[in-house]
Structure 1
Amino acid sequence: MNTEPSQHVCIVGAGIAGLATAYALQQAGHRITLIERAERPAAGASGGNGAQLSYSYVQPLADPGIWKMLPKLLLEKDSPLKFKPQIDPRQWSWGLQFLGACNRQTSQDSTRELLSLAAQSRIAFEAALEREGLACEHHTPGKLVLYATQQGLDGAAQQVRLQSTLGGAAQRIVDAAETVRLEPALAGYASRIAGAVYTPSESAADCRMLCEQLSALLAARGAELHYGAQALAYDVQGGAIQSLRTSAGSQIRADHFVLASGWESASQAHALGVRIPVYPLKGYSITVDAANTLATSPQAAPSVSVTDTARKVVFARLGDRVRVAGMVEIVGRDTRVEPERITSLAQSTREVFPQLPLQGDLRPWTGMRPATPRGLPITGRQRGGPRNLWLQTGHGALGLTLAFGSAAELARQIGRA
């Protein structure tokens, strides 16, 4: 642990970004106070996410290929993308910036930055796993990214070549037969894929379990955790935040304040004079209990993590469970679980893994992923805000993947402040 003089850091948000940041700062010797309006950690986008740690295949959502796909994505009834126009300038501004980023050069630049951050994150996360013995179903099964057409697979091959020049992990293009050899549970789906990108080094973990473990560690080591307390108002004087008042009646004074409150960080930052291009991309998941099935049919459920690009759905094994997640909805602040989306995920599971019966409670979930137009998170101080205000948000669908790298970076910045 760092022996430099301790500072008091107040962090708003107990998702994976906030908790990883709190952990990194505590490891650096700082005193931590954490504020979370929910009664538990991982109550937002971290609670039921796709569980994949995508360190090596980080193609940004803002990709030039989106232009050809956009009409189909927007107009098809069962499209994984849903756009519901809002009377909200931030939605339209974000959308225009996103489309502006859908070009080859920006996509390559974003890929380069994401790969670098992901590599740092892997080192930091795996060091924490070894140091703390975190129990979060972490394993390294590898990942298959499926493509339905040869054209799509050829495009993926270009991305693989790009990432290889940027120092990415070993990957290879495999045909449908090799895909099934790597993951026998895909045998019934082989006729519907042209092939896949295979990355042996990719991992998976249960983000909710990880957040719960981090929260317990922080508390055991002296952090003050205020669950069920909403950040209400900041007292700003002389260009710095003096204190934060919460719904629990607390007045928290600290040297630094970190906004790690996911999609809501944009409005909270705006109240402090900072504009950031973060908008919620709503996603869904179900969790399939496969214990009984695996006892008699071990190959009914996937062992390797799988991403089906045609369906925009991911599958990740977590012990005897399978997490199925997907969808991108740009629908504003609507946090309701839409039954048809859960039905769609269940149907995708039946078609991709027909031997995996969907029995019992599928634990339907929705989460609002905080996304920037380019897919790059916002870490650090921002122009126009108080000098002791720091941002840790905008990780999109890569929150679990990037959290520990972003946390290490913010800890370095605060240590130099």
Structure 2
Amino acid sequence: MQQLGSIVSPSDFAWRDAGKLVVYRSAKVFDAAARKANGGAIWSAAECAEREPAPGAARHLLAGGIHNAGEAVADCHAFCTALAARIGAHPRFRGFIQAEVVNIAATGGRVVGLDTTAGAIGGDAFVLAAGIESRHLAAHLGVKLPLYPLKGYSLTAPIRTTDTAPQISVTDFERKVLYARIGDKLRVAAMVDMVGEDLRLNPKRIGSLTRQVQETMPHAADYSQVSAWAGLRPATPNSAPIIGASPLSNLWLNVGHGPLGFTFAAGSARILTDLMLGKAPPFALDMLALQR
């Protein structure tokens, strides 16, 4: 939070530091999780309903929950927008924001420049951090990135003054559904499809998710105004991101964060910055290297 807050204001990206509550429907699964809580607060079903009323309608279905106070949520798109504005306003900034790279020029094992929809640009060093599109850009340079798109779905609905939206981020463990209040909207994320680079919305998936949400938190938002979205999470075979050098001497990689891109963003950037400056990393990075 201190690193992010020193760059842009938390109010610019709807930062909420209210913790995360993972609720369990199965007593057996809950008991096993409680034994491995690692400092999380163990709440009974009644305590879950009392401290976070939003899923109260499903109280009779819950065995209990584990609350971790150190968790937070925020609007990653708003953060990127605010960060871009801050960078663009810097007197030493030279470059383009929101330009599409159409070609990466390389020679002698080095990247020499980028051709973009806003014009050409050169540089001493380059960072590839383009989500699942990174594998296509890298392939043009003869670099194979072990990334696969995991298609995730989300719903967003406006929160009215009469709604009982969650104050705490809530994860329904067995159903693998996450509920989070982001500004004046409820964001619900769930499901993973392995269907390649297919961004089409599957009506059956959206219908199933909508029904689950309305059953679990019927009064959390205005579901008549819900909007659906699907995105591709760039995952690696072992789920660890790739951070560090590439086969090209001045091309650096920051890819493969799966569903945790925003969670890992600041830490990944700090590690990569140190590597690019020739500083020793805070820990061994063998597990994050391209060749591992």
TM-score (norm 1): 0.63
Q: State the shift of 1:227 in Å.
A: 4.7
Residue pair 1:346, 1:358 contacting (<8 A) in 2 also: no
Q: Does 1:192 align with 2:61?
A: yes
Q: Does 1:178 align with 2:47?
A: yes
In structure 1, which of residues 133, 152, 155 is the aligned counterpart of residue 9 of structure 2?
133
Q: State the shift of 1:262 in Å.
A: 0.2
Structure with greater proportional helix content: 1
Residue pair 1:277, 1:373 contacting (<8 A) in 2 also: yes
Q: State the shift of 1:260 in Å.
A: 0.6
Q: Secondary structure at the match of 1:416?
A: coil
Q: Does 1:404 align with 2:266?
A: yes
Inter-partner Cα distance in structure 2 for 1:263 and 1:193: 37
Q: Secondary structure at the match of 2:4?
A: helix
Change (3 A) 1:372 1:209: same
Inter-partner Cα distance in structure 1 for 2:184 and 2:221: 13
Inter-partner Cα distance in structure 2 for 1:225 and 1:244: 11
Q: State the shift of 1:136 in Å.
A: 1.0
Q: Secondary structure at the match of 1:274?
A: coil
Q: Secondary structure at the match of 1:301?
A: coil
Deviation digits for residues 151-193 of structure 1 (CA, Å, limit 9, x no counterpart): 2223323543xxx4xxxxx313322122112212222111112
Inter-partner Cα distance in structure 2 for 1:232 and 1:196: 48
Deviation digits for residues 302-360 of structure 1 (CA, Å, limit 9, x no counterpart): 11110112221100012322111111111101011222222222212211112235344
Residue pair 1:350, 1:357 contacting (<8 A) in 2 also: no
Q: Does 1:317 align with 2:197?
A: no
Task: Map 1:237-386; keep pairs closer than 5 Å.
Answer: 237-248=107-118, 250-294=119-163, 300-382=164-246, 385-386=247-248
Match of 2:285 in 1: none
Inter-partner Cα distance in structure 1 for 2:256 and 2:93: 25
Gap regions ≥5 residues in structure 2: 280-292
Aligned residues with identical type, % of pairs: 39
Inter-partner Cα distance in structure 2 for 1:137 and 1:217: 17
Match of 1:143 in 2: 20
Across the two proteins, how many residue pairs are aligned to each other?
Answer: 277
Q: Secondary structure at the match of 1:281?
A: strand
Inter-partner Cα distance in structure 2 for 1:340 and 1:223: 46
Q: Secondary structure at the match of 2:153?
A: strand
One-letter code of the match for 2:33?
A
Change (3 A) 1:151 1:359: closer
Q: State the shift of 1:131 in Å.
A: 5.3
CA RMSD of aligned residues (A): 2.0
Inter-partner Cα distance in structure 1 for 2:89 and 2:117: 24
Q: Does 1:232 align with 2:102?
A: yes
**Structure 1 stretch displaced more, 342-351 or 259-268:** 342-351
Inter-partner Cα distance in structure 1 for 2:250 and 2:124: 7
Deviation digits for residues 43-97 of structure 1 (CA, Å, limit 9, x no counterpart): xxxxxxxxxxxxxxxxxxxxxxxxxxxxxxxxxxxxxxxxxxxxxxxxxxxxxxx
Residue pair 1:235, 1:241 contacting (<8 A) in 2 also: yes
Q: Secondary structure at the match of 1:317?
A: strand
Higher relative contact order (CA 8 A, sep 6+): 1
